[in-house]
Structures are given as C-alpha cells and as structure tokens.
Chains A and B, each alone.
Chain A
Amino acid sequence: MTDTLSTAVSHELDENALLEAYRTMRTIRAFEERLHDEFATGEIPGFVHLYAGEEASATGVCAHLDGRDSIASTHRGHGHCIAKGVDVKAMMAEIYGKKTGSCHGKGGSMHIADLSKGMLGANGIVGGGPPLICGTALAAKQRGTGGVGVAFFGDGASNQGTTLESLNLASVWNLPAIFVAENNGYAEATSSSWSVAADNIADRAAGFGMPGVIVDGFDFFAVHEAAGEAVQRAREGGGPTLIEVKFTRYFGHFEGDQQTYRAKEVAEARAKLDCLKRFRARVTETGQVDAARLDAIDTQVADLIDAAVEEAKAAPKPTAADLETDVYVSY
C-alpha cells in the first residue's frame, strides 16, 4: 500500500509555476531565518516554532490548492500560512503582537490564521487540526464546491487519537481530505523513530483503508507530485490520502531550544539536502529557469522581509479597548 516515490521531475510546472514555488520557499526560509535572529534579540514575545528546512512540504502541497480549499496547521505554522497566501507583513506584525497583525495581536505565532485564505490557523494543540479538516472537507463535499481539506501535522500528532480518529472518519465518509504527516524526526525532543510504533507513519494508512505515500521532504518535486495525485483523487471523489513527508527541521523545537538531544544531522542536511539548493540546481541545470531570475527573487524576498520586520516593529500594539472584543459574533 505504501509507495516510496523516487525523485521525479514534474512536467506539469511551467516557468511561472516554478518561479512561484521558488518564491514561496525562499519567502518561508527568509521569514524563519530572520525570526531566528530577531528572537535572539528578545524583542519577540512568547513561543516561536520555525519551519526552516521544511519549505518543500507546504509549498509542494499548497501549489495544488485554490480558494475552495482549506488547510489546518501545527505549532510550526508560518510556512503553511505563507504557502496558502497569508499576507507576510501581517504575519510578521502578528508575531510581534501588534494590532496590525493577521489576528490583531490576539493570536501570535501559534495561532496565525486567515480564514479568508482557507488557512484555519497554526494550532497550539498537537493533533488539533485533523478533525477540523474532516469538517472543512465535509463542507466542501456537502456544498459540492470541489474543494479539499489538507491537514498538516507532525510526527508527534501522528500518535494523537484525534489524528487517528480523523483518518478513520475521513475514510468512512469518503471525504476529500489529505493528511500530510510532516515527519521531521522529533516531536519536541522525542525522536519519532522511538515514538511512532510503525516503521513509517504512512504505513498506518492501510489500517484506515486509504493510500499512504512516503516522500522525500527535501524534494519539492516529489512532494508536488504526491500531493497532486492526492488532491486530484480527493477532488474526483476518490477519498482521502495520507502523505508522509520526511525531512529535518533546521532549528530547535522552539526558539531557545538547545537541541542537546540531536546529533549533527542538521548541518549535513543543510549542506547536502536543502530543498532550496536542490530546487535551484534542478531547474537551472535543466534550463527551465534562468538563475538570474531566482537571484532576483532572493533580493525581492529579502527586501520584503526587511520591510515586514521594520513595519512590524513600528506598528502599534492593541490597547485595553481590544481586550474584551472578538470573543463572540453577537453578545
């Protein structure tokens, strides 16, 4: 039931699509690396969980999605937000706790959301998202929109009852849902090779009567292809898919994590496996994209992030008048 996809060149992507994918991955990387630096200055409040290293997953999946579709995310949600089109400046302001933020400073890094973009939020509860995605997929099915729901979750959440119940329900109801298990090797400080009592998370798909796929999470094209098949199957009424994306996160579980539990895999991954490097090498070697165009994107993204941080720092904080609003639609 479980297939391992080899690295495959996708022929579906034209130059514009490739540039867009690169821009998304580069934006996530720049966003997260900048946050890593800014967090160290002490100016960012609370907990921040960075997605650097995992860009190909959010980008490869969300490339197939549109306004009909919704996603649920995790603690490590910035990348999913950016890939689903949430405004980067509003995200930065949110992480700084500012009134101009995506959630007016009431959510923060762990709850960034933009429902108008079908982004149901980063989630502070491990395993919080999969049941919600059963619901968004159900809504799409009932309303006949052709939309799909995608639940991103980590290897930690793969052991939560909510996730396993959701896999079952999605299959029982034949929902247009895609479950993307982002296995970065660690749930907090606990290794997934220890905590997941199966060889692969994707192996569990068989138990729920749905296809399970394992992909190399550093390879944008592999993710893109697997997600494309799953999304197409879902849209056509073929039901849910479980995709396990395997990779390494570049930073700690949260900013400030000393990561004493880890070996040296990060430096090696960054050097040899990095999704951005591989993407650039691939598309320039095949002549699909001119390197200069990628360089231009790098510059534009750096400028965007600079501006986002500058504006976020300058933006006003919410005030006492905001404390008790937005609890209910009607009081």
Chain B
Amino acid sequence: MARTISYREALNEALAQEMERDESVIVLGEDNAGGAGSPGEDDAWGGVLGVTKGLYHRFPGRVLDTPISESAFVGAAIGAATRGLRPVAELMFIDFMGVCFDQIFNQAAKFRYMFGGKAETPVVIRTMYGAGLRAAAQHSQALYPIFTHIPGLKVVVPSSPYEAKGLMIQSIRDSDPVIFCEHKAMYDTTGDVPEDSYTIPFGEANVVRDGDDVTVVAIGRMVSVAEEAARELSTSGIEVEIIDPRTTSPLDEETILESVENTGRLVVVDEATPRCNLATDISALVAKEAFGSLRAPIEMVTAPHTPVPFSDALEDLYIPDAQRVANAVKSVAGWTR
C-alpha cells in the first residue's frame, strides 16, 4: 500500500526488502552501522545521515562497518561482486570518489569489456551528492557527470522517494556496476511510496509534467526546482514539460527528443558545474538529433564553474533555483528569429 514516507525511509526500505529477498545482498561502508569496536551502541548511526539505520540488527553479519579506507572497501565490494555477492557499498560523499576512483572506473567499470564479456560485477555504490547543507567545497559537489562519462557504469540520480525506492531495488538486481547518487538535501523529502517491492527500469525517463511550450530536462533534486518554476510559469501561460531522465547512464534520449520535437524549446537544469555536465551533453544531443525542431537557442541552468562555497549567501547563489529556471524558460519561450 502506498503511504507517505521520506526519501531516506524509501532507500532504507529498498535495502531491507532486497536483503530479505536475497541473502547475497550485503551493505558496507563507513559507520553504516556505526559504533564498530566501540563500547557503546552497535547500530549507533546507521550511516552518517541514517539511511542504513536498523539494518545491522535485522540482518546480522550483513551490515559491515569499514575503516575510513575507501579504496579498500569500495574495491572489496567490487571484488566481492565478482564472486557471488551483491554488495551495496556506501561512498559517503561523492566528493570522496577522489580517493577510490581507480577501483570504480578502472576496475569495476571495465571488467566486463576487458574480460571479453565474461565478467559480471553487480555492485551498487551509494553516494551522497549535492549542495544546500552548507557542507562546503569537499562535501557538496554534484559529480555524477564524471561517472556518466565512464562506459561500463550505470548512474542513477533519483528525484523523489518513489523513484529512490524503485531505482534502488533495480540497482541491486542489476548485474552491472551502479553509481547511485542520493541528494543529501532530499533525505527528508516525502512522497507516496508503495510498500511492496518494485523496480523502475534504467534508461526510461519520467515525464513529470506535460506541457507544449518548453521542454525542461532536470536532474535529481533539480526536478523539484523545475516543478516549482513550472507552477509559476503556468500562471503566466507557459506550460513546461518536465523530463526526469532518472538515470544519466543509460540516458533515455528518445523521450527527450520526442518532447523537444513537440515544444521546439529546451532548457536543461543541472546542479553540476557547467563544463562537460549533463546540461552540455543533453544540449549536444538535441542540437545534433533535433536541430530541425528547435525554435530557440538551448538554455542551460547550472552551477557556476567554481567549487561549492560555504557561506549561505554564496551557496544559495550557487545552486540553480526556480527563479533562474523560470527566467531561462521565459527567455527561450519568448525567443523569435
């Protein structure tokens, strides 16, 4: 039965249901239980922001705390995936990819191809991304474009509790390495989520809102920002079609192109910095494949080409907001040759 739960609870439920269903699923990461080897509580934290809370006691021996040693435990998750486990490793903040990237992009991503199609590496790497918590430059980036660039990885950026649960279950059951990017400012976002297990297939975009005037493709948390802008724009007569790609790899090109063929106008909203991000990638796709349909230049709403600032005065400027999206939409909607 669908009930209203948070993004955090949706993820926890997805993990619990898959651990229940398949004993090869294990969870590992820094403080995923919390308190290993300490005199106090065993499940003290359940992950730094509580996503894995409660799993430790429910699934004895299958929630492993790790040393702060990302190369070793992310690599271990990958190695274990080649030998019959389905590990879900938590790379706490996506910014920490820097200390373990080799294991992800040179090992996990390439095994299948390098080994002639004979490897399966069903590992999920959960990681938090995104600005908004005043966590500053090394705990706030939206680095999913870097993973999206790598062949062999699948990259998931869920935009709501419903999406988070279905995409997490799909990620665990998928036999390829998956980078699962959770926006840390969304954990308390609530929405309707079925109690039963369900999967959302990769590479199938969600048309969040129908509209004939402007196509807005938004990634992850930016979907809700685009929705806010769309509500305001609707009152001034501009109907926006919002597309949530759900997975940046594989990318549902068809849904984006179909929409732009109808609207002739595109805005891409991406929290990542602007060089080689999803906004540029999707813009290039549309410019190449739907050039004839375009009736206005493409607009991209992204973070600036800077590290994420600390001060709230600056961070609020850094993150794309509904006003910037609305302005971009108005500019393409009003554009005539």
Contacts and interface: CB of A to CB of B under 8 A. Distances in A.
B119 A138 contact: no
B332 interface: no
Given A131-B71, A131-B72, A327 B83 contact: no
Contacts of A172: 66-67
A326 B117 contact: yes
A128 interface: yes
Interface residues of B, number: 48
B26 interface: yes
B69 A165 contact: yes
B106 A135 contact: no
Nearest to A143: B84
Given A132-B107, A139-B85, A168-B67, A107 B114 contact: yes
Interface in B107-125: 107, 110-120
A162 B83 contact: no
Q: Determine which residue in B72, B103, B174 has the highest number of CB atoms from chain A within 10 A of its CB, and name it.
A: B72
Contact of A135 (B81, B119, B203): B81
A169 B82 contact: no
A327 B111 contact: no
Contact of A142 (B79, B85, B151): B85
A24 interface: no
Contacts of B80: 135-136, 138-139, 142
A44 B111 CA distance: 23
A329 B118 contact: no
A161 B79 contact: no
A87 to B, nearest CB: 12
A121 B108 CA distance: 12
A113 interface: yes
Given A120-B82, A139-B83, A139-B85, A169 B76 contact: yes
Interface string B145-182: 00000011010000000000000000000111000000
Q: Determine which residue in B66, B114, B117, B119 has the highest number of CB atoms from chain A within 10 A of its CB, and name it.
A: B114
A291 interface: no
B222 interface: no
B192 interface: no
A116 interface: yes
Contacts of A168: 67, 69, 72
A20 B74 CA distance: 37
A135 B78 CA distance: 7
B115 A111 contact: yes
Nearest to A102: B116
Contacts of A166: 71-72, 75-76
Interface string A137-162: 11110110001010000000000011
Contacts of B71: 131, 161-162, 165-166
B20 interface: no
Contact of B116 (A101, A131, A328): A101
B73 interface: yes
B63 to A, nearest CB: 12
A103 to B, nearest CB: 4
A325 B117 contact: yes
Nearest to A72: B79
Interface in A97-121: 101-107, 111, 113-116, 120-121
Nearest to B154: A328
Interface string B274-288: 000000000000000
A123 B152 CA distance: 17
A131 B112 contact: no
Nearest to B175: A329
A209 to B, nearest CB: 13
8 contacts: A104-B117, A107-B115, A125-B106, A131-B73, A131-B76, A131-B78, A161-B71, A329-B175
Nearest first, the 8 closest Cβ-Cβ pairs linking A and B are A131-B75, A135-B79, A326-B117, A132-B79, A103-B116, A104-B116, A165-B72, A135-B80
Interface of A: 70, 72, 101-107, 111, 113-116, 120-121, 123-125, 128, 130-140, 142-143, 147, 149, 161-162, 165-166, 168-169, 172-173, 325-331
Given A106-B116, A134-B76, A143-B85, 16 more contacts: A111-B110, A113-B119, A123-B107, A125-B107, A128-B102, A131-B78, A134-B79, A135-B80, A135-B85, A138-B85, A166-B75, A169-B66, A169-B73, A326-B112, A329-B175, A330-B174
